[in-house]
């Protein structure tokens, strides 16, 4: 690919392709291909100028070599990339705005005055008709006010004022529609599928294959906590499926043989074998968009109050107009009141503020599923943290494998453990699978059907022997397994600083896998900052032992900690805290965190955690660091401040315009211009970033 370097600083470069412009398709392809490269941490392609801005890791020579060798024809780009890029949407609304301003200029400076009056009158019919429809439905709301103001101007033959009001209303509507659709597009994009591999059922057993290799009528196996990657028909198994991403309804739906399942839904309990019927996902993205648009989740409490207040103020605007005419007998002064109202700005600026904040969060790799969750984030005073993968690093590692069976060495123990753990999403399970891979251990399927017991472990059968792996509570207390008598000293010598997974066969312990689960580097600093930001109680809850939990809690500085808790314990604690008047945030990443995430006022999932946790959560943050919690709090507080500031300023300015009109200082035309211009200004300001 031929290009020239236009500008560069350390680890950031701007290049220009040797062409005048790119098509939307070409820009989408380039951005996808470059973003998929591990060296590139940020990329933005500008189709109009054929420029590319990149931030990267590695050397300048490596990035130059990458650009020189890049050939889009050698890469396959998924159809979903074009569907969700948003470029076509932006281009559409940019052109609409340009057309509106161009027509305004053409009408005012080229079209003769008589014809201009006819055009203005024709366009006014839309607003007058909307006002009449609203009255017909016995509602006195904003459309009535707009229609009355425009209609009154037409009757007075003040076509200039009517045209100005309609122009500014049109621009405001376009900006609101654009921001709304762009925000929904960004949100739906982050909620769309992001699945790399699936379990394919073959004649010889199960094999893990890339999603791209799955064909129609293939049979795939989807287990608890995992996302169903394709539309299909159930041919075996039973499960409860969470379909919230498509329907907005969080209550799981029972699925069994011959039932139909949809891409993107998540199995909460059970296991299904599915015959694939639509490898494209059957328009999942469109379904998500429709669900979001119909959902009230996008509205915060303040936003809803502002909209209701806007409609409630309409009768007062009419009353003010009537009273002004009654006392002054001056139609011009009365019209000044009618031309200025509070409702337009309130109805426009508030939702734009919320949607812009959601989009800004998305740009920082934070997925927020609705404005009300940002509002709750700003008001919360309690945070509950899971330990593993949340306060500790998202990628724990295997520190040691101890065999308790003289016929099996450490590699054999690790092989059996990896064979079981690869089926279920959890950071500790991932650590076992990764260690086996690093040691070159091939762990082909050797077991019967595997069963996952939430917050406990996994059970299956290997060579007719019941095999389990999991926590101390599960292996020794629930399953009553025993330690070989001659190995008790070895068991007592296992280092206490590690988390442990216990592997047993036929009721006898055969191995212990020690997991090093180090604290996140930033955890203590984030906890301290959250305390300083007004959170009264920070709590850690974990299924780990008392000793491990105590050490982690002391290191990070949480106010309380609870060890050896079950999923229902976390949810119960949150329920009690809410009953006591607290607003509660839950931060977790595993299947066992799902009940607590659902119970909290704001459920926050780690992006690399279990699919079901991300599905249930209200907000998803990146796995890299916890500083995004600080960002979220700052963003939510600033959003609420912006909404309140908008409210105060809208009331102040519009009250001033009304008083100036009644005093005869400004004409109705000027009042309408100032009102609509200020509304537009509030809307544009509401689109700006909250965080620097």
Tell me the pLDDT tens digit for each residue of 635-668: 999 999 998 898 888 888 888 888 888 888 888 7
Residue 316's pLDDT is what?
79
Say whether pLDDT at 624 is over 90.
Answer: no
Whole-number average pLDDT of the chain: 83
Say whether pLDDT at 296 is over 60.
Answer: no
Tell me the domain boundaries of the chain.
3-77, 92-187+297-341+668-683, 197-280, 367-392+520-621, 397-516
pLDDT tens-digit readout, 590-606: 777 888 998 999 999 88
Closest CA to 166 of 683, 535, 676: 676
Reported confidence tier of residue 302, pLDDT bands at 50, 70, 90: low
- The rounded distance, in Å, linking the Cα atoms of 256 and 7 is 58
Q: How crowded is residue 283: how many other Cβ atoms within 10 Å of its Cβ?
A: 15
Rounded-to-10 torsion of CA 134, 136, 140, 143:
20
Residue 190's pLDDT is what?
63
| Segment 435-448 mean pLDDT | 75
Of all residues in the chain, the percent with pLDDT exceeding 70 is: 89
Residue 284's pLDDT is what?
57
Reported confidence tier of residue 291, pLDDT bands at 50, 70, 90: low
Say whether pLDDT at 447 is over 80.
Answer: no
Residue 633's pLDDT is what?
95
- Three-state DSSP state, 229: coil
Residue 425's pLDDT is what?
60
Instruction: Identify the CATH assignment for 367-392+520-621 out of 3.40.50.1220, 3.20.20.70, 3.20.20.10, 3.40.50.1000.
Output: 3.40.50.1000
pLDDT tens-digit readout, 378-434: 999 999 999 877 888 767 889 999 999 988 999 999 999 988 888 766 677 888 888
Residue 282's pLDDT is what?
44
Class of residue 137 by CB neighbours under 10 A (exposed 0-12, middle 13-18, buried 19+): exposed
Reported confidence tier of residue 163, pLDDT bands at 50, 70, 90: confident
Residue 335's pLDDT is what?
80
Say whether pLDDT at 294 is over 60.
Answer: no
Rounded-to-10 torsion of CA 543, 546, 550, 553:
10
172 vs 100, 169, 177, 426, 653, CA distance in Å?
Answer: 11, 5, 9, 47, 18
Residue 412's pLDDT is what?
92
Query: 367-392+520-621 and 397-516: same fold?
Result: no
Tokens of 656: 């001033």
How far is C-alpha 5 from the geometric centre of its chain's CA atoms? 35
* Position with higher pLDDT, 310 vs 648: 648
For CA atoms 272, 276, 279, 280, give the dihedral sign.
Answer: negative
Nearest-5° Cα angle at 478, 475 to 482: 50
- Overall size of the chain counted in residues: 692
Residue 631's pLDDT is what?
93
- Three-state DSSP state, 384: strand
CATH number of 397-516: 3.40.1110.10
Domain 3-77 -> CATH class: alpha beta
Residue 590's pLDDT is what?
75
- Which residues, in sequence order, are CB contacts of 232 under 8 Å at separation 6+? 220, 260, 261, 274, 275, 276, 277, 278
pLDDT tens-digit readout, 450-486: 777 765 788 888 888 899 998 888 899 888 999 999 9
pLDDT tens-digit readout, 325-364: 888 888 878 887 777 777 667 777 777 888 888 888 887 8
Residue recorded with tokens 């010889």: 204
Nearest-5° Cα angle at 194, 438 to 54: 85
The answer to whether residues 126 and 167 touch, using CB atoms and an 8 Å cutoff, is no
Architecture of domain 197-280: Distorted Sandwich (2.70)
- Which residues, in sequence order, are CB contacts of 216 under 8 Å at separation 6+? 276, 277, 278, 279
Rg over CA atoms, the chain? 30
Identify the bridge partners of residue 516 per DSSP, sorted by sequence position: 397
* Position with higher pLDDT, 343 vs 1: 1
**Which of 78-92, 246-260, 576-590 is most confident?**
576-590
pLDDT tens-digit readout, 500-545: 899 999 999 999 999 887 888 899 999 999 999 999 999 999 887 7
pLDDT tens-digit readout, 552-591: 899 999 999 998 888 888 999 999 999 999 999 999 887 7
Residue 80's pLDDT is what?
66
Of all residues in the chain, the percent with pLDDT exceeding 90 is: 23
Say whether pLDDT at 14 is over 90.
Answer: yes
- The rounded distance, in Å, linking the Cα atoms of 179 and 192 is 20
């Amino acid at each position: 690919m031929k290009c020239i370097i236009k500008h560069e600083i350390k680890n950031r470069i701007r290049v220009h392709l040797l062409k005048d412009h790119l098509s939307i398709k070409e820009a989408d392809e380039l951005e996808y291909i470059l973003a998929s490269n591990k060296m590139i941490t940020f990329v933005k392609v500008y189709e109009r100028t054929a420029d590319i801005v990149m931030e990267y890791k590695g050397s300048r020579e490596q990035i130059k070599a990458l650009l020189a060798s890049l050939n889009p024809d050698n890469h396959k780009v998924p159809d979903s990339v074009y569907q969700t890029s948003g470029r076509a949407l932006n281009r559409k609304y940019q052109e609409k705005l340009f057309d509106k301003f161009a027509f305004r200029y053409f009408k005012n400076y080229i079209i003769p005055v008589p014809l201009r009056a006819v055009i203005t009158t024709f366009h006014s019919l839309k607003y007058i008709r909307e006002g009449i429809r609203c009255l017909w439905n016995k509602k006195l709301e904003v459309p009535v006010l707009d229609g009355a103001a425009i209609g009154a101007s037409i009757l007075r033959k003040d076509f200039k004022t009517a045209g100005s009001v309609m122009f500014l209303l049109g621009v405001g509507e376009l900006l609101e529609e654009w921001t709304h659709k762009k925000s929904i597009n960004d949100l739906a994009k982050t909620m769309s599928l992001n699945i790399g591999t699936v379990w394919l059922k073959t004649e010889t057993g199960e094999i893990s294959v890339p999603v791209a290799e799955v064909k129609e009528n293939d049979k795939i196996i989807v287990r608890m906590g995992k996302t169903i990657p394709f539309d299909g028909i159930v041919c075996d198994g039973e499960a409860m499926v969470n379909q919230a991403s498509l329907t907005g309804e969080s209550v799981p739906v029972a699925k069994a043989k011959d039932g139909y399942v949809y891409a993107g839904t998540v199995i909460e309990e059970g296991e299904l074998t599915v015959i694939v019927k639509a490898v494209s996902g059957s328009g999942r993205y469109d379904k998500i968009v429709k669900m979001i648009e119909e959902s009230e989740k996008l509205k915060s409490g303040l936003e809803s109050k502002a909209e209701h207040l806007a409609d409630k103020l309409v009768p007062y605007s009419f009353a003010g107009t009537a009273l002004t005419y009654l006392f002054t007998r001056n139609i011009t002064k009365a019209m000044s009141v009618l031309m200025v109202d509070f409702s337009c700005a309130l109805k426009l600026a508030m939702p734009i503020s919320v949607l812009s904040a959601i989009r800004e969060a998305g740009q920082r790799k934070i997925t927020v599923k609705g404005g009300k969750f940002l509002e709750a984030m700003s008001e919360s005073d309690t945070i509950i943290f899971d330990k593993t993968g949340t306060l500790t690093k998202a990628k724990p590692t295997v520190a040691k494998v101890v065999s308790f069976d003289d016929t099996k060495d450490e590699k054999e123990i690790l092989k059996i453990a990896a064979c079981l753990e690869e089926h279920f999403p959890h950071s500790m399970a991932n650590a076992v699978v990764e260690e086996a891979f690093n040691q070159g251990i091939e762990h082909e399927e050797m077991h019967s059907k595997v069963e996952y017991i939430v917050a406990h472990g996994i059970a299956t059968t290997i060579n007719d022997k019941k095999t389990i792996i999991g926590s101390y509570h599960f292996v020794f207390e629930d399953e009553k397994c025993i330690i070989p008598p001659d190995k008790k000293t070895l068991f007592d010598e296992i280092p206490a600083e590690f988390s442990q997974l216990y592997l047993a066969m036929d009721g006898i312990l055969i191995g212990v896998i020690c997991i090093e689960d180090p604290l996140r580097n930033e955890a203590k600093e984030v906890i301290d900052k959250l305390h300083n930001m007004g959170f009264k109680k920070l709590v850690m809850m974990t299924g780990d032992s008392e000793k491990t939990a105590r050490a982690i809690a002391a290191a990070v500085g949480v106010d309380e900690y609870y060890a050896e808790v079950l999923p229902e314990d976390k949810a119960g604690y949150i329920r009690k805290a809410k009953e006591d008047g607290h607003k509660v945030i839950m931060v977790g990443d595993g299947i066992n965190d799902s009940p607590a995430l659902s119970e909290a006022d704001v459920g926050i999932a780690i992006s690399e955690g279990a699919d079901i946790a991300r599905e249930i959560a209200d907000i998803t943050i990146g796995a890299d660091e916890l500083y995004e919690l600080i960002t979220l709090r700052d963003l939510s507080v600033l959003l609420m401040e912006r909404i309140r500031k908008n409210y105060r300023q809208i009331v102040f300015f519009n009250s001033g315009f009304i008083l100036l009109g009644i005093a005869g200082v400004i004409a109705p035309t000027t009042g309408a211009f100032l009102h609509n211009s200020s509304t537009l200004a509030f809307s544009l300001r509401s689109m700006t970033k909250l965080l620097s």
